[in-house]
Amino acid sequence: MLSRVLVFFQFLFLALLFFPSKVSNFWGLVVFVIGFIIGIIAVNTHPKNNFNIRPDIKENCILITNGIYSYIRHPMYLSVILMGLGMAIFFNTFFKWIIFILLVLVMLVKMFYEEKLWSKNKCYKEYMKKTKRLIPFVF
């Protein structure tokens, strides 16, 4: 149930960030595109039917540790956060920044929840020692 709620709020906040308002900054588009590219790279690293938008671990799921996943454990979460940041920068309204902060909070809760589930896996514990969560070499 928690997984579905987290995914619901993730998409709600993304949709609210896309809702048109005044346009103010080209750099927001650049950040959005970078986030989108990271997401495409991450999805393409997964074998077919291995990717799950919910933080629940799918049955017969394979732990991916190559490609972008060799640097960070959650490139899809980074992708969503960067796309949201891009939209907040692009529209640059108080409302968009509040929605972006809410999106980041949901993504962090989702990330920690997923890691809690994965941490029962011995291979994941080893993987955690070699990688950072969202920002290579930092966090």
- Residue 123 DSSP SS3: helix
Tell me the DSSP string of 56-95: SPPTT-----SGGGGTBS-HHHHHHHHHHHHHHHHH--HH
> Quick one: average pLDDT of 51-68?
89
CA 19, CA 33: separation in Å to the nearest integer?
Answer: 17
Q: Determine the pLDDT at residue 117.
A: 94
The predicted-structure confidence for 74-118, as pLDDT tens digits, reads as follows 999 999 999 999 999 998 999 999 999 999 999 999 999 999 999
Both tokens assigned to 39: 């997401």
In a domain, 137, yes or no: no
Looking at the DSSP assignment, which residues form a beta bridge with residue 132?
Answer: 72
**Phi–psi pair at 72, nearest 5 degrees:** -135, 150
- Residue 132 DSSP SS3: strand
In a domain, 98, yes or no: yes
Q: Determine the pLDDT at residue 114.
A: 95
Both tokens assigned to 71: 């640097």
In single-letter form, the type of residue at position 29 comes to L
Both tokens assigned to 126: 């080893």
Both tokens assigned to 125: 């514990």
> Quick one: average pLDDT of 44-70?
89
In a domain, 7, yes or no: no
* Residue 11 or 71, more confident: 71
Q: Determine the pLDDT at residue 60.
A: 84
Please tell me the least confidently modeled range out of 15-24, 62-71, 85-94, 121-130: 15-24
CA 101, CA 13: separation in Å to the nearest integer?
Answer: 9
Q: How many domains does the chain have?
A: 1
In a domain, 15, yes or no: no
The predicted-structure confidence for 8-41, as pLDDT tens digits, reads as follows 888 888 877 776 666 567 788 889 989 999 999 9
* Residue 5 or 107, more confident: 107
